[in-house]
Amino acid sequence: MTAPPKPRLSRAVLIERLPGYAGQAVLLALVAWLVWRGVANFQASARALHLSVGFDFLRTRAGFDIAQSLIAFTPASTYLDAIAAAALNTLLVIALAGVLSTLIGLCVAFGRLAPAGLVQGVSAAYVEVFRNIPLLLQILFWYASALALLPAVADSIQLGPALLNNRGLFLPSAQFDPVIALSRPRVEGFDVSGGVAILPELMALTLGLSIYNGAFLAEIFRAGILSVPRGQIEAAATVGLSGMRAALLIVLPQALRVALPAAGGQYQTLAKASSLAAAIGYPDIMQIVGGTVASQTSQALEAMALVVLLYAAINLAIALIVGFANRRLLAHEGR
């Protein structure tokens, strides 16, 4: 098989398009010049203001502590470590809320399509209530509720080996020092020692993000499910698949194809909304890099540039993953 010959542009067409090409070239040059001037201008202004510009501060000692860190972090660590810890905290909450909101979205989507009136009503009410209240308000509500309802350390609620109080949920954890042993959380004076802690801030933020985005995802999934032809579901019933199996094996894979692009956008919204952590003191990128690092180094512009860069990177990564999944799905369709 040979490729079809490229249509050659006639002289007349070329001449007609010439002003357009010229315009684009001029515009491109102007944009390049603008960017170059902007950067030069910034540097000149910074020099004139005697501001120290640059990222040398990243390797100096941070001197502060972070409430929650997935990597080892002490006041002796560097600003770079602090930024890494903050980025991991953001990724953690995005991952937790991403999974949870997807589960909520799927349940509510099927709930809204259920024949039973009560399930349908509850699901519809869920979507309308949580979709229409500002996310910040919801997060503040969950945080205030957590602090108001959870007991003090001395009156911790014992959940099997776990402890729950207003300092967080403390789960037993494995310790490898020197042999593998189980570290059980126990109350010690002011505080709980041993185990791993899930901070109230993380709980409130995950809950707020999941419930809010779950409502949007539910509508996206519902649209996807409705796009699956009825005949498919009837066919599934004919070959003897139960309702649940038909939903999982027949409806969901096809619904996903329609829902995925919109859902991807929703996951990006979730990632950006995770910066509302700043409202309740969860140590995420916004809080640590845009707040603590910016002020402790007095290099606010650099720190803010890093915040922009990190969020852009996270969102681009989500877009890439969704795009990849989408191509896989479409490839399956083509087969």
Sites of contact with another protein (CB under 8 A): 16-17, 19-20, 22-24, 26-27, 30-31, 34, 37-38, 41-42, 44-45, 48-52, 63-67, 75, 144, 147-148, 152, 166-167, 188-191, 193, 199-201, 278-281, 283, 287-288, 290-301, 304
The Cα 208–Cα 237 span in angstroms is 38
What does the block give as tokens for 186?
Answer: 């126990």
To another protein, the closest distance from the beta carbon of 65 in angstroms equals 5
CB 278 within 8 A of CB 292: no
In the bound state with another protein, the residue whose beta carbon lies nearer, of 276 and 318, is: 276
In the bound state with another protein, the residue whose beta carbon lies nearer, of 264 and 291, is: 291
In the bound state with another protein, the residue whose beta carbon lies nearer, of 11 and 230, is: 11
To another protein, the closest distance from the beta carbon of 281 in angstroms equals 4
To another protein, the closest distance from the beta carbon of 270 in angstroms equals 21
In the bound state with another protein, the residue whose beta carbon lies nearer, of 258 and 293, is: 293
Please choose, from the candidates 188, 184, 152, the residue with its C-alpha nearest in 3D space to the C-alpha of residue 167. 152
To another protein, the closest distance from the beta carbon of 156 in angstroms equals 13
The residue with tokens 């919109």 is: 262
Those residues with Cβ within 8 angstroms of residue 103's Cβ, 6 or more apart along the chain or in another chain: 214
In the bound state with another protein, the residue whose beta carbon lies nearer, of 256 and 278, is: 278
State the alpha helices, DSSP H only, in 76-199: 79-113, 117-131, 135-149
How far from 199 is each of 16, 150, 203, CA to CA, in Å?
Answer: 65, 12, 6
- Exposure string for 40-75, b = 16+ CB within 10 A, e = fewer: eeeeeeeeeeebeeeeebbeeebeeebebbeeebee
With the CA atoms of 130, 133, 137 and 142 taken in that order, what torsion angle do they form, in degrees rounded to the nearest 10?
-20
Whether cis (ω within 30° of 0) applies to the bond prior to 75 is no
In the bound state with another protein, the residue whose beta carbon lies nearer, of 250 and 289, is: 289
To another protein, the closest distance from the beta carbon of 264 in angstroms equals 30
In the bound state with another protein, the residue whose beta carbon lies nearer, of 50 and 335, is: 50
In the bound state with another protein, the residue whose beta carbon lies nearer, of 255 and 293, is: 293
To another protein, the closest distance from the beta carbon of 314 in angstroms equals 20
The Cα 134–Cα 142 span in angstroms is 13
Those residues with Cβ within 8 angstroms of residue 143's Cβ, 6 or more apart along the chain or in another chain: 200, 201, 204, 205, 208, 280
> Length of the chain in residues, anyone?
335
To another protein, the closest distance from the beta carbon of 157 in angstroms equals 15
To another protein, the closest distance from the beta carbon of 293 in angstroms equals 8
